[in-house]
Structure 1
Amino acid sequence: MSRHAIKAATAVVGLAGLCGIIALVASQNAEAVLQLLLGASGGILLVVAFHLLPMACSALAWRAAMRPLWSAGPGIFLWARLVRESANAVLPVAQVGGNVLGARVLALHGAGTLPAGAGMLVDLTIEFLTQILFFAIGLVVLLLIGGGDSLRWAGLGLGIAVLMGMGFVLAQRWGMFRLFERLLGRIAQQFDWSALGGLSGLHDTVLAIYRDRGAMARAAAFHLTAWVLGAGEIWLALHVLGAEIGFAEALVMESIGQAVRTAAFLVPGALGIQDGSILALGVMFGLPPELALSVALVKRLRELLLHVPALLIWYLIEGRRLLRTPDVAREQA
């Protein structure tokens, strides 16, 4: 499939997801949803500010994972994490392009192509594994508060996620990235992009990072903290909208909602899918449908208010330089 075909397919899927959100709003009391959002306008800004906490923890996790290869201050990792999240949230990049962009930010600020690429892959792996643990915690909480029929399906999803996580880790140890290196080499020859040649040795570099057990433990602790703080964000959003709901329910909503978002990684921003899952979980916990949907829309508003300006700033600071010098290797030569 050509690059243009992939972009077109991603845009179509993203548009379908956006139509799904519109359909969800139309199926509920749209006027009531609007009134809830307008009434919580100041609280929504508080939710936006609160999101900086889990994002900072994720940035520190990334920094800890890369510590064996490259030492830099937390500020550059926070900026790279913001760019990474922003691109995955609001651009039609199927929730993966932002990861590459974040690694590129680190490479341009001195990490080098190989450490930045390897560190990003390790960070993604640890983030995914801790998400599985967070999902399991959510299921335990759901069991304690009474999950009904939804617990069976969530348990099935957890089993699949655990198998995927084990498979991904084993594939890395058995040489998955060696195959990836060969693929990148062919792409570099085909498109004359010499920067990809800087990823030679990716497999060995990834394994070298994994050998630092202390760095891996710190990265995992930061990521798990970020997931729990994400539940705090949901709890805060619920309360600014006037819902009387406990942190346990918010944690379940966040753990399952994020798992659904990850499973729908091919859909840009998980448009429509994440929102539908939050709506269903909120209704399961006794929330009025319009209030549960408003929580999902608060998350979308947070993405627009935080991530769109971040991408604009990134473009002004670095985007033009990248357009002038699309090959990192040429820039560093």
Structure 2
Amino acid sequence: MKSLPLAIAVFGVAVMVALVAYFGAGAVVGSLLAIGVPGFAAICVIHLGLTAVMGLAWWSLLPGAPPGWVMWARLVRDSGAEALPLSQVGGYVLGGRAVSLGGVSGTRAAASTIVDVTLEFMAQLAYTALGLAWLVRLQPETEVAVPVLIGLGVAVMAAIAFVVAQRRGLNYIDRIARILGEGWVEKTAAGAAALHAALADIYARRGGLWASFCLHLICWIASAIEIWLALHLAGQPLSFGAVLAIESLLYAIRTAAFVVPQAVGVQEGAYILLGAGFGLTPEMSLALSLLKRARDLTIGLPAIGVWQFIESGRVWRRRKAQLQVAAIKMRSRD
């Protein structure tokens, strides 16, 4: 089964390379160079700021947790999802692990991750609806509106079902535990019951839920600033509303293409199709896509490196302590 995501990723990379070759690698590179190193640095800084705000959205669900540590955990989560191949789910695991090192229990870390991802997805639906409305306003004759609206409706129903499952679907855990009796299965059920209790506690804090949702929505809308700035620096400016329409639909397509690791190939094709409707050249659209991937690697790889250093240090200290205890026991026997 692991070979399937790899095969899909390889095919996506081939599509991306083919698109760049077809439209001209020189022209794509020229569009990237027009943005410049200072522009790229500014885009990275903006993205880091948005990541910090998304960390605060997560922190809203974890009262008492250190906000700075939760923001760092959010950076680790995003870095694991974007900078490492075939690891989007692994990013959530890394983020949960990172936030647990800030004094949050593993159960609360897992529960808050589930709720945070749910609220972020719901905010994305609102963002997509806003982008679709703006698209219809700018291009009343567009043929994209109907299929996107249908997909949005399906996604809303899926989100509602997911929330209901989180809040009610685990109420049967206690019954299952009693039926199965003692043993490892009961312990597993007890762990699931603890997760259910943590989820219920988070959902009971309405203020935290609304704060998290609103912060995520603000970040979704503000994320369009990065591409708006890039286009202005490259000499192909678009209005913020036009960029918002492109970006919201792009992320909707990325979400629908979740089986493709990092939406490689899909993102590039979507940018070309969506950008064409607003007068962007294919070369510029490809440059924007590659710019995002370069941004993710520039931020993500160092973050993962720091995370690895922290984890290695913890493992080494724990191992050292174990060796010291073993040495003391041996001396006491002598």
> Same fold per TM (> 0.5)?
yes
Let me know the Cα RMSD of the aligned residues: 2.7
CA distance in 2, matches of 1:156, 1:115: 35
Tell me, in whole angstroms, the C-alpha distance in 2 between the residues paired with 1:108 and 1:150.
45
Q: Distance in 2 between matches of 1:322 and 1:93?
A: 25
Aligned partner of 2:18 in structure 1 is 23
Contact 1:130/1:223 (8 A) holds in 2: yes
Query: What are the within-5 Å matches in structure 2 for residues 115-126 of structure 1?
Result: 115-126=108-119
CA 1:210 to 1:165, structure 2 compared with 1: closer, same or farther past 3 Å? same
SS at the partner of 2:120? helix
| 2:181 counterpart of 1:158 | no
**Structure 1 CA distance for aligned equivalents of residues 317 and 149 of structure 2:** 49
Q: What's 1:256 paired with?
A: 249
Correspondence for 2:309: 316
- The TM-score normalised by the length of structure 1 is 0.86
Structure 1 unaligned segments of length 5 or more: list them.
183-187, 327-333
Judge conservation of contact 1:87–1:93 (CA < 8 Å) in 2. no
Alpha-carbon spacing, 1:87–1:49, altered in 2? closer, same or farther (3 Å): same
Tell me the distance in 2 between the aligned counterparts of 1:113 and 1:284. Answer: 47
Total equivalences in the alignment: 310
- Equivalence map 1:170-319=2 (5 Å): 170-176=164-170, 200-319=193-312
Q: Does 1:48 align with 2:44?
A: yes
Counterparts of 1:120-135 in structure 2, within 5 Å, are 120-135=113-128
Residue matched to 1:74: 67
Which is worse superposed, 312-321 or 106-115?
312-321
Q: Is the 8 A contact 2:120 2:216 kept in 1?
A: yes
The answer to whether 1:33 aligns with 2:21 is: no
Q: Tell which deviates more after alignment, 315-324 or 209-218.
A: 315-324
Distance 1:229 1:160 in 2: 25
Aligned to 1:59: 55
Instruction: State the alpha-carbon separation in 1 of the partners of residues 299 and 165 from structure 2.
Output: 36
Q: Distance in 1 between matches of 2:20 and 2:128?
A: 27
Shift of 1:223: 0.6
* Comparing 165-174 and 54-63, the one that deviates more: 165-174
User: Structure 1 stretches (4+) deviating beyond 3 angstroms?
Assistant: 176-179, 194-200, 319-326
* TM-score, reference length from structure 2: 0.85
More off after superposition, 13-22 vs 113-122: 13-22
- Work out the CA distance in 1 between the residues paired with 2:268 and 2:278: 16
| 1:72–1:285 distance in 2 versus 1, CA, 3 Å | same
Counterpart CA distance in 2 for 1:273 and 1:153 is 17
CA deviation string 1:158-200 (max 9, x = no partner): 1121111111112222315867xx8xxxxx969xxx9997555
Over the matched positions of the two proteins, sequence identity in percent amounts to 38
Decide whether aligned partners of structure 1 residues 199 and 171 sit closer, same or farther in structure 2, where only a CA change above 3 A counts. closer
Q: Once the 2 structures are TM-superposed, how far is the Cα of residue 145 of structure 1 from its aligned partner?
A: 0.6
Residue identity matched to 1:164:
A
Q: Does 1:9 align with 2:4?
A: yes
CA displacement at 1:106 relative to structure 2: 1.1
The residue type equivalent to 2:154 in the other structure is I
Give the letter for the 2:150 counterpart: L
> Are the counterparts in 1 of residues 50 and 223 from structure 2 also a CA contact under 8 Å?
yes
- Of residues 91, 102, 112, the one that matches 2:95 is 102
> Whole-Å Cα distance in 2 between the matches of residues 104 and 195 of structure 1?
20
